[in-house]
Amino acid sequence: MAILLDDRLTVGLWPLPSTLKRSDVLGSITTPGVGSFELRPLAFANMAEAVANGDISSIDDYIAPYQVFTLTVTAIPTFPDEVILNVSFDPIAPIPAFTPFKAIIEEPNPFTLVSRTGAEIPQEIIPSPNWDPPLVNEQYIQTIGGINTATIGGYYTEKAFYDREWILKFPDVIAKISGAGVKYLRYEDIPQNVPFDPILFDKAPIAPSGITPATWYPLTKADAEILDAPLMEQYLKKTSGIVSYKASEIRKLRFFYIITITSKLPGTALPLTTTIPAFMTVQNNSSWAQKRLLYALNTPKVPTPLLGLV
């Protein structure tokens, strides 16, 4: 049966050489395991120049959200006279027909003890609905099948890097805005003369808004440099003060695909179908957090009650 051409750079059996350098971080993260192909498009055509320009930190960097990429896989025969008929990224049942169809966290390693440098509260990243179908679907990722090759390209958004949140003051309430929506606390319900504890939001009511896991992300790179989601703009203009902003603590995610190769052997009536599990790692771009905070601080504001706003 046919297989994929392994170039040991951008397409190959996991782990590729650049990934193997992170073996200490990747311990115990074997999904999808031995036999799976890693897809690793180059973040820039000239990686050394990109490092020198500060676009990336290392030649081993992965692509980041909103970074346009293209990667082509090539099917090759393994039997004499085997003919490749088609190769595509189309999943087959029971895999959901979404691109990608699933994601998992890769870093921080979920199999190690949770920790966060300089903080008393351990880091804990809860699996998100954005990591499963249908929300895991990335609308700007496209795939094209062909006879011997298939291409995947476009860009990922920050939809799966969901754990970003703001705490803002309004004349009538203090609110936490995140992918879970807009939670609020009235000032009279907040304990006085003690440090404010964000855990109070755990049981707080939710104000009506258009913010959901399906909308909590920028659509373009230009938006990503200033906002966590387009709907944030209205809250930044109406706030009476910014209490805090927490950028995503997810550093790397794996996005999963199924590559299907159809081939035929001489003298056989039915074609052969080979399915190959594959995944692509995407790393967070942490540099945008500071830009978003600066944009929020510099946004002209007219303090307005939140409950009247929403």
For 156-165, what is each residue's pLDDT tens digit?
Answer: 999 999 999 9
Residue 8 in this model has a pLDDT that exceeds 80:
yes
Find the distance separating the first CA and the last CA of the chain, reported in whole Å.
58
Helices (DSSP H) in the chain: which residue ranges? 17-20, 47-53, 221-224, 232-238, 288-298, 306-309
Do residue 93 and residue 190 come from a single domain? no
What are the C-alpha distances in Å from 171 to residues 209, 238, 243?
18, 9, 13
Do residue 174 and residue 193 come from a single domain? yes
pTM here is: 0.92
Do residue 145 and residue 199 come from a single domain? no
| Bridge partner list, 260 | 88, 275
- Model confidence over 208-259: pLDDT tens digits? 999 999 999 999 999 999 999 999 999 999 999 999 999 999 999 999 999 9
Do residue 12 and residue 145 come from a single domain? yes
Mean of pLDDT values over 48-64: 78
Q: Are 283 and 249 in contact (CB under 8 A)?
A: no
- Residue 211, classed as helix, strand or coil, is coil
Structure-token match 């373009």, residue found: 220
Which structural domain, as residue segments, surrounds residue 128? 3-158+249-285
Do residue 272 and residue 191 come from a single domain? no
- Give the model's pLDDT for residue 195: 84
Residue 94 in this model has a pLDDT that exceeds 70:
yes
Contacts with 267 (C-beta within 8 Å, 6 or more apart), sequence order:
none
Q: Are 75 and 149 in contact (CB under 8 A)?
A: yes
- Model confidence over 180-209: pLDDT tens digits? 999 999 999 999 888 888 899 999 999 999
Do residue 120 and residue 266 come from a single domain? yes
Do residue 204 and residue 185 come from a single domain? yes
Do residue 187 and residue 78 come from a single domain? no
Do residue 63 and residue 142 come from a single domain? yes
Do residue 42 and residue 135 come from a single domain? yes
Give me 3's structure tokens: 């297989």
50 versus 83: the higher-pLDDT residue is 83
Q: Which of 15-24, 48-57, 239-248 has the lowest mean pLDDT?
A: 48-57
Structure-token match 């930190």, residue found: 57
Say how many domains are in the chain.
Answer: 2
Do residue 102 and residue 179 come from a single domain? no
Do residue 120 and residue 220 come from a single domain? no
Mean of pLDDT values over 63-71: 95
For residue 159, what is the DSSP state? T
